[in-house]
Amino acid sequence: MRNSALNTAKNDLQALVREAQHVLREATTETGDKANVLIGRGIGLLDDTVAKAQELQSAAIDSGKVMATTTDEYVHENPWRAIAISLGLGLLAGVCVSRCK
């Protein structure tokens, strides 16, 4: 679910940037009022892209906070299990590093 939402947001951002690029390229071939209108439209699209990116950043921060809170609660409720998991991961990392040498 989260991956599909991220992919959709990524595709939306890419589409907005492509459209803004197209509009701004078109503005370079025009003059006068038509160019001003196209430049304004391109800048508006770029503003929309920035707003969308900020929304994604905010969502990622919120998601990270939820994960951190959940992890903190788990460690406080299960300290010995958390120690055992950390020990196992450390041992696994040590084995992997020693085999790479």
Contacts of 20 (CB under 8 A, 6+ apart): 42, 45, 46, 49
User: How far is the first Cα of the chain from the last one, in angstroms, to the nearest whole number?
Assistant: 39
27/48: higher pLDDT: 48
pLDDT band, residue 69 (cuts 50/70/90): very high
Phi, psi of 23 (to 5 degrees): -65, -40
Question: What's the confidence (pLDDT) of residue 29?
Answer: 81
pTM: 0.60
pLDDT band, residue 101 (cuts 50/70/90): low
Question: What's the confidence (pLDDT) of residue 2?
Answer: 66
Question: What's the confidence (pLDDT) of residue 59?
Answer: 85
Vertex 39 angle, CA 33 and 44, to 5°: 125
Domain chopping of the chain, boundaries: 2-100
> What does the mean pLDDT of the chain come to?
85
Q: Is the pLDDT of residue 13 over 70?
A: yes
